[in-house]
Amino acid sequence: MSGERIGILGLGLIGGSLALALRGKRGAPEVWGYDRNRESLRMALSDRAIARACTEREIASCDIVVVCVPVLRSVEFLRRIGRRMRPGAVLTDTGSVKAAVVRAGQEAVRDGVEFVGGHPIAGTENSGYPAADASLFRGRTCILTPTDANTGASLRRVERLWKTAGARVLRMDPRLHDHVFAYVSHLPHAVAYALVHSVATLDSKVPLGYSAGGFRDFTRIASSNPEMWKDIVLQNRREVLGAVGHYRRNLSLLEGLIRRGDEAGLLAYFRKSKKTRDGL
Ligand code: NAD
């Protein structure tokens, strides 16, 4: 990877953190950055997270381009950048939904260029370059979602990039990824938003100043970027709706146990959940 040039398109939480994580690492590539937000570019340059602030056209000359913009935006970029990159180059992304992006990315690239889907499992409820953190990926997992269109060499180049940033790398089928993440990430975010929404729309005023651990812990992720989560649930709509339906059935089951005053049933329900959570 040393001697390669990496282009990071979108220097927000994820792109900015990747640039900071690569800064000064042994064997790290030269990093160029592009973002429509000039202030983010200025900050990234002054932090030496990027060696050069470039244009969208210039970033296509890099050996590996990592697209780190919100998921619905990323498809447009893959289409534009993918046909301008040089043979031998690799285009990759960090989007939280994979099947549709991988399809679009692999269709978008010209001959000799490969698209490799990626999703770092790291983040916070904050967004933008000011939230970027050099240690965000340390000890975390980055999932790559290869298909038959990928060669081992390109996968290894993207893998090396994430390992240099401190992550361990796993591979997963793109559709399996979207199914799994509908349950372990997209549903919890949707439910957190719904829970806060249900309190925010109460007729009676519940003073949230009383909210101790439970409400705060459970709803932290409802402070996540609404724009980003709108994109994610829409792009993974089918899987997310499946997960919401499954959750609704589990909530109804709980409702029935409470209504019937079924002590044994409630204990069994809560114990099963506790055991699963304790095992994390
Ligand atoms: P972010 O909002 O922090 O950053 C996005 C950046 O893209 C911003 O700097 C913004 O200025 C830039 N951008 C947006 N539209 C642009 C355009 N048209 N042209 C140029 N720049 C543009 O978002 P993020 O949290 O860094 O998320 C980036 C990607 O990573 C998303 O696809 C998201 O699904 C994925 N992701 C996010 C998290 C998380 O927890 N935040 C975790 C894993 C993956």
Nearest 5°: phi and psi at 34?
A: -140, 135
Q: Which of 68, 71, 72 to mutate to test the pocket of ligand 1 (most atoms within 8 A of CB)?
A: 68
Amino acid 114 reads E
Q: What are phi and psi of 28, to 5 degrees?
A: -70, 150
Question: How many angstroms separate the CA atoms of 243 and 61, rounded?
Answer: 41
| Ligand 1 lined by 73 (C-beta under 6 Å) | yes
State the CATH class of domain 5-172. Answer: alpha beta
Quote the ligand 1 centre to 227 CA distance (angstroms).
10
For 176-278, CATH number out of 3.40.50.720, 2.40.10.10, 1.10.3660.10, 1.25.40.10 equals 1.10.3660.10
Pocket probe for ligand 1: among 20, 37, 55, 69, the residue whose CB has the most ligand atoms within 8 Å is 69
CA distances from 87 to 32, 197, 271 (A): 19, 49, 56
Residue ranges per structural domain of the chain: 5-172, 176-278
Is-same-fold flag (5-172; 176-278)? no
How far, in whole angstroms, is CA 239 from its chain's centroid? 16
Ligand 1 contacts CB of residue 96 (under 6 A): yes
Find out whether the beta carbon of 185 lies less than 6 Å from any atom of ligand 1. Answer: no
Per-residue confidence in pLDDT tens, the chain, 280 aa: 667 999 999 999 999 999 999 998 888 889 999 999 999 999 999 999 999 999 999 999 999 999 999 888 899 999 999 999 999 999 999 999 999 999 999 999 999 999 999 999 998 878 899 999 999 999 999 999 999 999 999 999 999 999 999 999 999 999 999 999 999 999 999 999 999 999 899 888 777 776 767 888 899 999 998 988 999 999 999 999 999 999 999 999 999 999 999 999 999 999 999 999 999 9
Chain-centroid distance, C-alpha 6: 19
Please report the pLDDT score of residue 211 as a whole number.
72
Round to the nearest angstrom and report the end-to-end CA distance of the chain: 35
